[in-house]
């Protein structure tokens, strides 16, 4: 393994960790604002449709991942490499 590839892999991991940390801090400091916004949207029919679509899409994605793993038992998913 070349040093350049090692450095690039390390940089990718550091950026991934930094993004996760920044998102966590953003969620922590804006928690009350998000709760208030969601409470005001609770009765909005467009919001309900969007949430239902999101749930259907996430269920379909989970089913597709299970089907992929069943068809290709030894092959890792792209984010598992």
Per-residue pLDDT reduced to its tens digit, 36-68: 777 787 788 888 888 889 889 999 999 998 998
- Give the pTM: 0.49
User: Can you give the pLDDT at residue 22?
Assistant: 61
Asked if residue 77 lies in contact with residue 68, where contact means CB atoms within 8 angstroms, the answer is yes
**Given the structure tokens 């966590």, which residue do they identify?**
24
Q: At 1, is the pLDDT very low, low, confident or very high (cuts 50, 70, 90)? A: very low
Alpha helix stretches (DSSP H) within the chain: 3-29, 31-41, 45-71
Place of tokens 């350049």: 4
Q: Greatest CA separation found in the chain? A: 56
Output the pLDDT for position 67.
92
């Amino acid at each position: 393994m070349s040093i350049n590839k090692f450095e690039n892999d390390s940089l990718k991991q550091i950026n991934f960790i930094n993004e996760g940390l920044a998102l966590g801090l953003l969620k922590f400091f804006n928690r009350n604002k998000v709760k208030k916004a969601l409470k005001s949207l609770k009765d909005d029919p467009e919001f309900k449709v969007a949430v239902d679509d999101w749930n259907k899409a996430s269920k379909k994605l989970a089913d597709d991942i299970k089907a992929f793993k069943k068809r290709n038992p030894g092959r890792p998913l792209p984010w598992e490499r």
